[in-house]
Structure 1
Amino acid sequence: MAKIGDDLYVLDGHRRFAAAKRAGIDVPYRILPDSEIWARYPSGQVQEAGVSMTGEP
């Protein structure tokens, strides 16, 4: 999970995360530190790599 501003982006397992959230299942996650995000996405294109979960039911 990456946090950019007020938005959260699931970087891996976004379909499982969304399905569990819809089913009311609490899913543990961690927000990656900036250093790890930049190591994975040096171009800074997290928005294209991840799926925004902010505002999802």
Structure 2
Amino acid sequence: MAFFRKASDVFGLDIGSSAVKALKLKETGGTYRIEALGIAPLPPDAIADGSIKDSGTVADAIR
């Protein structure tokens, strides 16, 4: 039954000090392929000392 199958898409998000990176993988035939990839640079002051300092800028990059 297709209704109970698990999802075949995988999404990854990396919020780093210089950029936000996103990756979407699609399972096909038992292997995964990259379906989408995105990188949004961040200004130097958006993240500092491992903490988000400008949440609006980081949220915009994720969108």
Answer whether TM exceeds 0.5 for this pair: no
Give the structure with higher Rg (CA).
2
Q: TM-score, with normalisation over the residues of structure 2? A: 0.27
- Compare the two structures and name the one with the higher strand fraction: 2
- Compare the two structures and name the one with the higher helix fraction: 1
